[in-house]
Structure 1
Amino acid sequence: MPVVGALRKLVGVSVLAEGLEPAGVRAGPEDADAFLADAQRYRRELLAHCYRMTGSLHDAEDLVQETYLRAWKSYKGFEGKSSVRTWLYRIATNTCLTALEGKQRRPLPTGLGQASADPADELTQRGEVPWLEPLPDGADDPTDPSTIVGSRESVRLAFVAALQHLSPRQRAVLVLRDVLQWKAAEVGEAIGASTAAVNSLLQRARAQLDAVGPSEDDKLDPPGTPEAKDLLDRYIAAFEAYDIDKLVEMFTEEAVWEMPPFDGWYQSPAHIHRLIKTHCPAEKAGDMRLVPTTANGQPAAGLYMRNKESGVHEAFQFHVLDVTDGAVAHVVAFGEPAIFAKFGLPATL
């Protein structure tokens, strides 16, 4: 399952690669504050980088802030031997590695090693697990190669979930080599390792990712295509009409549904149908309303559930969809209402 090979092919011409950094880039403005202001243009891609490393939007935001603080403090020592972008990535990578020391990985329920659950069983909530979080897409031009790479394939939810199976150093090496297309010697210099050690870490990381990650043949439909938009519209309409029969007709035969912080996951349209009918608080059409958006370069929607006492629709679940060949292959329904604000969605409708 060589997903890494496909990723390398996709990013081979990425503007994130140092090879496309304009020649002769030096330290930039003489003043450190002016330099830091100029360096803000890299914030979005650094956020994606820290998110790949940590699996947490909240942590990634903090780590980007720390990266810029470290860059500002050490600006006088920047000699311009590498590009500004490369220098910032080095700082960000080491900031992430320090932050990840002793931390638990951030899985999805499918990454806990449990078999598919019975949809009739009681749901088990695991609040102590630091679950993987979704990433808002930027407002960048979707035709820009850096956006395509940074906001789709290399931050798709399944790929970031697979990265969580790697050690932090393996993650760093794999992301720097296969996503950012750095040379092994450059990676070694960045993380303080020999080229041989980098190659060894990369080999083990690729093997582990091949075992747990998405297949290179598992191509997702971009969220901006007419087909993906139409499917998301029909997905939303089925929920709002509480037509679960019509909803599961959109799923592939091997479709998976999971909803952290509950630790179970469910496979097949029949099981997903029973799960929703058994455990969903909605009872009739109009109980649920959904607002479309995108996350991790995938179609997504914020689901609001009607409060039976107040009648107000309140943030309930945030759905991220894998859409393949016009069908829903996977849904992660995040049950953390605080996520909504990160996507510019209100707490109530």
Structure 2
Amino acid sequence: MTSSEPNDRIDHLTRLAEDFFGERVTHVSTPGGTDRASIRVTLESRSVIATLRPNFRRTHLEAYILKILESECDCAPKFMGLRENVLFQSDLGGNRLNTAIWKAGQADRASIAFSAVEAILRIQKAANRVGLRDALPILGANDDWVENLVHAIDTMESISHGRSITLNRAELCQKIVTRPRSFVKWDCRSGNAAVSNSNSVKWFDFEYAGVRHGAEDLAWLIADEAWPINPEVMEKIILDCLPSEDRSAADTYLDYLWLYTSFHCIQRIKLIMKEVVKRGWLSKSRIRKFDDAGVHPEFAYNLCKVGEYAAYRNRETALLARDFADGQRFFLSIMRDGLAARGAIAAE
């Protein structure tokens, strides 16, 4: 992208917003940076989000989902219009979940985490009720996708004793395959939600939504490297939010949640290790501000801690839990080596 392209795109979105709403734009900001698909447009009477994605099909998918959800659920942005492949949606405010929960005290953190989980499940329930489960593409349904997820175990060899490379991968692939039973928003990282003054949570960015098990959305949140709530607390919150009348169903749900979370943690670690080679370690404040990949050793350590908890929950992944424990020591050693003091790891 050339230096003029972001400004050209912003000018284009500004003109479209003025034409669509019939009002003058008084201010434009780029909350996630100029390279992101969405910008905040302040008009004379309101503030809206204008979204122009590189793939117009994803924009139209998101618009379709928001239009259907708006009368069924208040946990997502309102659809405001679509013009020339630009989606206009309601502005949920600038208090992103990833920043809000980090700044909150312990009591408020628990309340916010509960609201985040509850909102995910409410969105899924509403989407399933109105038929989105039958209208959207099935995600992670082909063999290559499942095998890539499971075979990423190889990533752990570079930060551990590599015990998990001996796991029965064919068996694990069979366990990851699941009946498509629920709408999933996908990409439920904490940077993709906003928190109100009353600590209620609303989720945005639905361009990757589809259908799968359903627990994947919670795995995205639990295994968000910047998420400060430990997995034991998250499990209690999830149990409080799941229907209580069928405990065996909840146990089965949790079994799959922790299985999937184990492998999702590896995907995030793999991303961090790739990005640190390209960019070096980043500061935690920058990561939160721009909703960037958590390229900081403390965040990688957090992923290994979550991964250990998740992997121990299934007999088939117990060896993987031990590799996650090794990974914690690996990333702790990076922090203890004094790289932060020498500037190799940016401080907070």
Q: Does the TM-score normalized on the shorter chain lie above 0.5?
A: no
What TM-score do you get using the length of structure 2 for normalisation? Answer: 0.25
Structure with more of its chain in helix, by fraction: 2
Q: Which has the higher contact order (CA 8 A, sep 6+)?
A: 1
